[in-house]
Chains A and B, each alone.
Chain A
Amino acid sequence: MQFALLVYESPEAFAARNSDGTDPYTGAWRAYHKALVESGAYLAGDPLEVPETETTVRLKEGRRRVQDGPFADTKEQLGGFIIMDLPSIDAALDWAARCPAAALGAVEVRPLAPESKRRITG
């Protein structure tokens, strides 16, 4: 069963990206990634650029509404995602709890929806 971990990070966590890489947060991520890959459950994942780089687009009455910045104005912003293949939701929750962002922000766990994908891709 495949799960997505959606990683929500605090401003401090985003700020750590500008460090020289020796800070504990980056160090924890490096170790977490290694443990993920070596467990065999890791399928894909990537960090996203900082929220300030985001642009939100909506179509209202046929016209483009383009907004600078993220849709939701909350403290924690989506900072990246990880896709994993795991036997159960419990295993996914374990990995979410180990994620360095869980202590500073939040990690959302959602199963992927292969049935919905098949309906679209045929």
Chain B
Amino acid sequence: MNGSGQEGIHREIERVARESYGRLVAYLSSHTRDVASAEDALSNALVAALTTWPRDGVPQNPEAWLLTTARHSLIDVVRHQQVAAASEPTLLLLREEPKEATLSAEFPDERLKLLFVCAHPAIDPAMHTPLMLQSVLGLDAVRIAHAFLVSPTTMGQRLVRAKTKIRDGGIQFEVPQERELPQRLDAVLEAIYAAFGIGWDEMAGVDQRGQDLAEEAIWLGRVLLQLLPREAEVRGLVALMLHCEARRPTRRGPDGRYIPLLEQDSQQWSLPLIEEAERHLAEAASRGRNGRFQLEAAIQSVHAERARSGRTEWAAIKLFYEQLISISPTLGTRTGYAAAVGAASGPEAGMAVLDGIDLDDVSNYQPYWAVRAHLLKRLGKASEAAHAFDRAIGLAEDPAVRRFLLQRRG
């Protein structure tokens, strides 16, 4: 086999790994609840593919090949754990259905169960997103740690601990009952949005990892939509992420300068992404069940409208924020509402909203100080504005945002 052929096979393995990883881990762990062992077994199968496929050619059904190989490896893995008594049921389960997987290309898609397991209330909420990124998308602990600003060792340990809890803590691999679905689904949506938020707010434009993470989050959202096509909030989340993604290229000047939303060239926004977002939002609205992500997407939809009309309907944004506050009165929502009120009804009204927020809650919250600085500047209160700018600059993590605020501060 020549070099380029080898390379082609490596690319093929990468592609299969990327597309099938979550499906395979979910399926392998759905019986055993042992996510870590399933991942190990799948890694072994991928290593085996690296040696076998270049020699024998890519199998007709690569996914089924990986599943069979991983299943054999999983039996070995479980045996080696030498906890014979505890593992006996697992081994039985694994032996029970080897034929089905070998013969059939079709196996049930258990990713939805895996997503619900990753965002189970018994697992530390801070680990929901990292677990999903690893077990459903196959991201390694080093990359996840990088994005979450912790050391790779710490992230690795936390992931292992969470997986042990899944295995030994009696967490069921199942889609929650209708009754508890909304609440459990919220945790899944939150975790996906958290991945997108990290990619978006803090890192995007600064380096590649932010953009990658935002793309992975959109991928996770699409997987979820595929699995739960009738849930309005899933569509709302996907619409929200697509609306933001549509503006990515205009968030920075060619020199890396930060450009705030209102000064972005709306003609450069991606129309296909905006249209796709609008389709999801309309489909969600037809289900008649409003929710946080649909409202946030609706706010972004009003901003996107500027590409067509050339103006921003602040009154509409303010209205959506009012509904949003009634169901999700977070610091972010209240700060966004203050900015919208400031734009719709003048800076005094915006300041009144900000003054309603407890100061103890915002000592580390950068957007509050940025909005406050902006409103005070519009009111002509120079020294108070300068103080708020300083807080916003000091709390900013993105050097481009810092430079932008330093300039505005004057």
Structural contact, A38 and B363, CB atoms closer than 8 A: yes
Asked if A59 is at the interface (CB within 8 A of a chain B CB), the reply is no
**Are B395 and A35 interface neighbours, CB within 8 A?**
yes
A28 within 8 A of B: yes
Interface size in chain A (residues, C-beta < 8 A): 21
In the complex, residue of chain B having the shortest beta-carbon distance to the beta carbon of A97: B397
Q: Is A24 an interface residue (CB 8 A)?
A: yes
Report B-chain residues with C-beta under 8 Å of the C-beta of A27.
393, 406, 409
Inter-subunit contact A93/B150 (CB<8 Å): yes
**B394, A90: Cβ atoms closer than 8 Å:** no
Any chain A CB within 8 A of the CB of B389? yes
Q: How far is the CA of A31 from the CA of B386 in the complex (A)?
A: 10
How many residue pairs between the two chains, A and B, have CB atoms under 8 Å in the bound complex? 55
Residue of B nearest to A95 (CB): B364
- Is chain A's binding surface mostly helix, strand, loop or mixed? helix
Binding site secondary structure of chain B = helix
User: Interface digits, A90-113 against B, CB 8 Å rule (1 contact, 0 not)?
Assistant: 100110011010010000000000
Which A residues touch B387, using CB under 8 A? 34
B395 cross-chain contacts in A, Cβ below 8 A: 35, 98
Which residues of A come within 8 Å of B, CB atoms? 24, 27-28, 30-36, 38-40, 89-90, 93-94, 97-98, 100, 103
Contacts A31-B393, A36-B394, A94-B397 given; 19 further ones with Cβ under 8 A? A27-B406, A28-B394, A28-B402, A31-B389, A31-B406, A34-B394, A35-B395, A39-B363, A39-B364, A40-B363, A89-B150, A94-B149, A94-B364, A97-B149, A97-B397, A98-B394, A98-B396, A100-B399, A100-B402
B residues adjacent to A (C-beta < 8 A): 149-150, 363-364, 387, 389-397, 399, 402-403, 406, 409
